[in-house]
Amino acid sequence: MVEAFAVASGKGGTGKTTSTVALGMALADRYDVTIVDADTGMANLLFHAGLADVETTLHDVMVDDGVPVESATYDRFGMSVVPCGTSLAAFEAAEPERLRDVVADLAADTDVLLLDSPATLGSKNAVLPIVLADRVVVVLNPTIPAISDGLKVQEYALSYGSEIAGTILNRTRGDVESIAAKADRYFEGPTLATVPESDAVQTARSEGVPLLAYAPDCPASAAFRTAAGRLSLKDGDSDAVAERFRTAVIPDPP
Ligand SMILES: Nc1ncnc2c1ncn2[C@@H]1O[C@H](COP(=O)(O)OP(=O)(O)OP(=O)(O)O)[C@@H](O)[C@H]1O
Ligand SMILES: [Mg+2]
């Protein structure tokens, strides 16, 4: 089986990378999980997963005569992690379309693929993870602009046949009932979790350790585990899914 999720938001800085790593670790209790830094222009998953010093990354895969994705895959915290590098020149050399083959290759060998996606919908890099994914997890902050941007991602995803797995309302403080109700009303799929604003999230990031390893018992970790528990996985046939990734038509950004 395999299912691919894009973790996306529209707005920047809502917690996509944090959520990708946390959901990955929570799902790794039950599944074989691979997380991929598909934000190839502004990669920072490496800083969340203790991989800041690795030499080979997704950028080395997404070029002519690139290395196989296995060479850029690292076992960390019970998951397979494919980080991306931070060099501008390497980003410019990488060809976005190659993400299709990367995802297809990974699909052969994992149960769950989580694609940490870029903010906005402004480039091929940004739309590809959403178009390739079976389902999209939309990460929102409890603000109207974040919801508005998330809705554009939803509309785009649905128009290309990707479903909405649900939303994560991240960095909440106090009572968020009215904004949570808005999210529930406007988004397809359930609110997977409400994740509180938490110092542990920031400290974990600066230590280069995923939240669920750094502070497994804090309320934010519990919320991410709840979200993972609500993502009941569908049973995609690995070969068929890989073929779909490989042959996906890449639309122009809106
Ligand atoms: N629940 C939270 N509580 C406190 N800080 C948080 C929380 N979630 C995320 N952050 C912090 O917010 C910042 C942005 O988080 P993150 O990098 O996960 O967002 P992103 O959506 O991936 O950003 P970008 O659009 O730049 O890729 C980080 O410093 C992170 O530590
Ligand atoms: Mg990010």
Read off the pTM: 0.96
DSSP 66: P
Tens of pLDDT along the chain (254 residues) come to 899 999 999 889 999 999 999 999 999 999 999 999 999 989 999 999 999 999 999 999 999 999 999 999 999 999 999 999 999 989 999 998 899 999 999 999 999 999 999 998 888 888 999 999 999 999 999 999 999 999 999 999 999 999 999 999 999 998 888 888 988 899 999 999 999 999 999 999 999 999 999 999 999 999 999 999 999 888 778 888 888 888 888 777 77
CA of 143 to the centre of ligand 1 (A): 15
Nearest ligand for residue 84 CA: 2
Cβ 220 under 6 angstroms from ligand 1 = yes
Pairing of strands 79-82, 33-37: parallel
User: Encoding tokens for residue 188?
Assistant: 């397809």
CATH superfamily of 3-237: P-loop containing nucleotide triphosphate hydrolases (3.40.50.300)
Domain locations along the chain? 3-237
Residue 4 phi, psi (nearest 5): -110, 130
Residue with structure tokens 């809502």? 14
Q: Is the dihedral of CA 169, 31, 208, 98 positive or negative?
A: negative
Mutate to test the pocket of ligand 1, among 7, 9, 11, 17 (most ligand atoms within 8 A of CB): 17
CA of 1 to the centre of ligand 2 (A): 27
State which ligand 1 atom lies nearest to the alpha carbon of 202: 31
